[in-house]
Chains A and B, each alone.
Chain A
Amino acid sequence: MQTNPLVTGRALRMAFGGVEVVKGVDVELLAGEVHAIVGENGAGKSTVAKILAGVHRPTGGLVEVGGQETLLEGPRQALALGIALIHQEPLTFPDLTVAENIFVGHQPLKGRLVDWRKMESRADELLSTLGARFRSRDLAGGLSVADQQMIELASALTHNVKVLLMDETTAALTPKEVAELFEIVGRLRADGCAIAFVSHRLGEVFEISDCITVMRDGEKVGERRPAETEVGEIVRMMIGREITVPPSSERAPDSVTRTESPTFAVKSLASKGRFEEVSFEVHSGEVVALAGLVGAGRTEVCESIFGVRPMTGVVELDGKTVQIRSPREAIALGLAMVPEDRQHDGLLLPMSLAHNATLATVQSTARTGWLADKQERSSAKDYLERLHTAYRSLDQKAKELSGGNQQKIVLAKWLMAAPKVLILDEPTRGVDVGAKEEVHRLVRDLAAQGMAILMVSSDLSEVLAMGHRVLVMREGRLVAEMSQAEATAEKVMLAATGQVSSAA
């Protein structure tokens, strides 16, 4: 393995609106190495990645490409130098075809003109090697987060990248897809590329990386070789304290005292072309985990229940059939949903944290229709702190928070609504270990207080650790239901991938 640095960041500094969020970080991406960057939410991982990819211009320090100092003017130039970044929040063009999305900005030319045939054939080749469900002529609009990330990966591969930066690319992926991804990463590494790999899934980090940089509050707290360390140490470095609770994956769930009649039940839900015959129950005090491969239709089931999409079927609350034609009605009935796509569906990015956190409850807080600012702010503050959210002021804009902290805002919004039934779609996607723990504990507490919880997750360990029962969806159908006791990683995966006859 060679060791000449392809990209180096020296004493990188970055400040937003006067607040320094990266404080003198050194990173060195070596050829033929996978370099993991881990750290809590808001530690500055994405920011560092963005600096190296020319998205942000550092307020201090310098970037060296191939050994010499370079002032990256922007993503264009970075790409030209073979540095590609797969963003934490996917960046696709809904109105363009998948092929165009992959080749945007560098379409294959014939003379000076775009060569569509070549573009589409090359795109299809790539997609098949990535094992994608969709084809080059499909429109990108409507693909899932994971599918969109796959497009970005493909796009990165089409620039003959020397340096590939992946920011939480695995967050929305299932183990199967992660495996496929790692295969490609392996190939790139063998070809002498340098790969930066930002992730919260320490398991994956240890599996793939040759070197781990740990960040905390914008500083680099250390660099380790996986061989010479273990998860515990990394976690300690990340959060700077011992976590008392063992990581959830090893923890037995609380036993549930099942109420005989379910709080929440759906019967043969169907939505043409998306899902059909979906029936299940959630009892108060129970966490039901909904597993499946990306694209299985889980999000769409959730959104349909919540009244965002039309569907057919019966929804029962406390035994009574209810009509839900809009989220508003759902909320009135005591439902709440944390959507998968935080940025698009969860937040008002340019608005203040306070207004974001209270959006769902603003009406009930203000009994008369006149705003009750004081109560709002105090309860917002209260909940944000309960979730250990890192923020400067309630008037800070939501878009200034890191991915994980943004998720906490969304959670806070719904906890304020004190729902009977809570639907969580990928609640810990892009959330760091510490925060993830908190979310898990929180979910357990809420269940313990008698809330009925449906939790969609692509993270197997999460599914196993949290679910009192585990449901598995495949291609729009419920294919398996297993109790906590029966559920094992193997069974779930088999059901999700359809290797066994459905056991539900």
Chain B
Amino acid sequence: MILQRREAIPTILVVVAFIGGAIASPYFLDFRYLLDASSLYVETGLLALGMTLVIICGQIDLSVSSTLALVACIVAKLLAAGWSAGLATPFGLALGALLGLVNGLLVSKLRLPSFVVTLATMAAYRGLAQVMMGAQSVRIPASMSGIDSARLPGTPIPLPLSILILAAALTGLLLHRTVMGRWIYAVGTNERAALFSGVPTSRVTTTVFVVSGLLAGFAGLVLASRLGVARFDHARGMEVDAITAVVLGGASIYGGRGSVLGTMLALLLVAFLRIGMGLANVTAEFQLAAVGALLVISVIVTNVVERYSGGRGDP
């Protein structure tokens, strides 16, 4: 019930953004286009889903966009080397999970601060991709590319979008319906108390990073397929968009608070905002400023609402 109240704000904002977009540009109210344009945010969405778990667990993962790029590059190379899609895809996912596992172990076993660990792996993973690929980029064979021109059979919904929705549903189940999910909240709230209550804290922490890596790997496959090529410098800075979405969605950066629904609503919000401003030819710098301001304002509003609804206002 508290959760619902927390998602109220993003929901309202989404509606506002939608109306705003419709007013700002005559080209906005075209649902097919909205669907297509939104599917450009699928990779960000997948990263944001993983990031939601990580942040609720009281950690942060800055390495996701690098993981994305590395997985995309390696899978592309494998496909070029003649691997079948059926083989390369699971391999890519496994690789993503593995990269996440490295983060997870460094954070949970060696007790290193996730901010710095993932800051380092952010450089290391992309660096690895660069070493492997050098300057050139690798083509994705036609069989695996062009995912966003494909649509969910019988619907106008682009395939990537439906993938994101599915992933969100699964993540939601994990977070809100399983014991692991409850543990994630517990560890994010008070790791020591969780430990005393028999929660396998380091396993939980590791898990969230693994999931984050897995989803990042998945995002890598989607992006590679959409672009038809993979390259070490793709998706730079996407981690910031992901974090933005998670926090806009009402998650507490201090852990213990947040939800999948909130994150997805926030993502939709950002998408509509960007699309609307883009169609209205709002310059990049104004878009930057606008999204930044939105983030700050939404958090202020949340705080205010909570303070007056007797919830916890203190950050």
Contact = CB atoms under 8 A, between A and B. Distances in A.
Q: Give yes or no for direct A-B contact (beta carbon below 8 Å).
A: yes
24 contacts: A18-B310, A326-B195, A327-B197, A330-B198, A332-B198, A339-B196, A345-B193, A346-B196, A347-B193, A348-B186, A348-B189, A350-B256, A355-B186, A359-B193, A363-B179, A366-B178, A366-B179, A369-B179, A370-B179, A371-B177, A371-B179, A371-B182, A395-B1, A397-B312
Contact of B199 (A306, A344, A359, A369): A359
A17 B312 CA distance: 10
Contact of A328 (B181, B189, B198, B312): B198
Contacts of B134: none
A308 interface: yes
Interface in B47-90: none
A331 B197 CA distance: 8
B185 interface: yes
B178 A369 contact: yes
Interface in B1-47: 1-2
Contacts of B310: 16-18
Contacts of A360: 197-198
Contacts of A330: 198
B197 A413 contact: yes
Contacts of A349: 189-190
A348 B190 contact: yes
B237 interface: no
A362 interface: yes
A363 B179 CA distance: 6
Report, as a range, how many residues of chain A touch the other chain.
20 to 34
A328 B204 CA distance: 13
B190 A369 contact: no
A337 interface: yes
Contact of A351 (B180, B192, B256): B256
B179 A347 contact: no
Contacts of B195: 308, 326-327
A425 to B, nearest CB: 11
A359 B177 contact: no
B200 interface: yes
A345 B182 contact: no
Interface in A302-360: 306, 308, 326-328, 330-332, 337, 339, 344-351, 355, 359-360
Contacts of B1: 395
Contact of B312 (A345, A350, A370): A350
B198 A344 contact: no
Nearest to A376: B182
3 tightest Cβ-Cβ pairs between the two chains A and B: A17-B310, A331-B198, A359-B197
B200 A359 contact: no
Interface string A452-464: 0000000000000
Contacts of A339: 196
A347 B186 contact: no
